[in-house]
Amino acid sequence: MTDTLTAATELDRFHSARQRYVTGPQGPLALTNTQWVDSEQPIWGVPGVWAPAPAGLGGLRLTASESDGIRVDGDLVDGTALVAGDDAITPSSILFADGATGTVIANDDRSSYALRVWNTESDAAAAFGSIDAFAYDPSWVVEASFVPTSDGAEVDIRHQKDLDLSRPKPLPGLIRFSRDGVDYELAAFPSDSNGRLQLVFGDTTNGDATYSVGRFLFVKPDDDGTITLDFNRAVLPPCAFSYNFNCPIPPKQNRFGVPIEAGERNVLAADGSLLHA
């Protein structure tokens, strides 16, 4: 009982941290636009003219006047400026005159870049109430085996807005466990440089008790070849908070034929209704 109470208390802290993150200056509620830049063009909602960076350089080129009030890396732009993307050693920071901020993201092969615009006064942020979640369930803390794959192994990942486009991700290993007589072999791809993996999964609660697209779980293999899946820490994807994200959908092997009644459920508006279906 003490262990369960301790785990439930830690989960409360986790949920509080999530609430702070999603409502932050560049939390998912703040994203108001993601626009890919393939030629010289304006960006909806912000000043300036944006274009791909010169050949051999990553990121975008911004042309703006002093009156536009755009700062890149702290400097007011009056002319042109190179805006480094998230694939650079030091990505650029962008601050607009109205307090909105910007970041530049690269596509998978770094052949194209997009500007993302963030504003804590977005419609989604104004309407947001809370993240609904299931009560802590110790039975959904699963001990599994992590089985390394051969070099070059990949998992086919598709995204909700362009299902015909395959974005293969490295597959460092398979996550295997059995539950209620069913064997599972899940695929997770690298999430960060610290060895964490991102598991994109679906289950029979999606579109009913939980967000329709699926959920994420971030895990890290142990040195002894085991891996703990605490589905109580399953989180909603960014697209549950803003339509300006294009989220990955669960690959076939990560779709459970049972309900996983653990983790985050839906994003709720202040009146208790669903913010997004």
Element (DSSP H or E) covering residue 127: helix 123-127
Q: Which residues pair with 112 in a beta bridge?
A: none
pLDDT at 38 over 90: yes
Number of Cβ atoms within 10 Å of the Cβ of 239? 23
Q: How far is CA 65 from CA 21, 76, 109, in A?
A: 33, 9, 32
**Mean pLDDT value of segment 214-226:** 97
> CA-CA distances (angstroms) from residue 37 to 59, 111, 159, 262?
10, 11, 20, 39
The burial class, CB within 10 Å (0-12 / 13-18 / 19+), for 247 is middle
Would the pLDDT of 32 be above 70? yes
In tens, the pLDDT along 41-71 reads 999 999 999 999 998 899 999 999 999 999 9
pLDDT at 277: 65
What is the reported pLDDT for 109? Answer: 83
The 3-state DSSP class for residue 30 equals: helix
Type of residue numbered 238: P
**Residue 21: its H or E element:** helix 2-22
In this structure, what is the dihedral angle of CA atoms 253, 259, 264, 268, given to the nearest 10 degrees?
120
| N-term to C-term CA, the chain | 36
- Mean model confidence pLDDT for the chain: 96
CA distance 237 to 180: 27
How do the residues of the chain divide into helix, strand and coil, expressed in percent and rounded to 5? 15, 40, 45
In 3D, which of 45, 77, 11 has the Cα closest to residue 235? 11
Question: How far is Cα 117 from Cα 206, in angstroms, rounded to an integer?
Answer: 29
- Give the model confidence (pLDDT) of 130-184 as tens digits: 999 999 999 999 999 999 999 999 999 999 999 999 999 999 999 999 999 999 9
pLDDT of residue 110: 85
Can you read off the two tokens belonging to residue 81? 């400026």
Tokens 């598991």 belong to 199
Extract the tokens encoding 249.
């959908």
Neighbours of 246 (CB within 10 A): 13
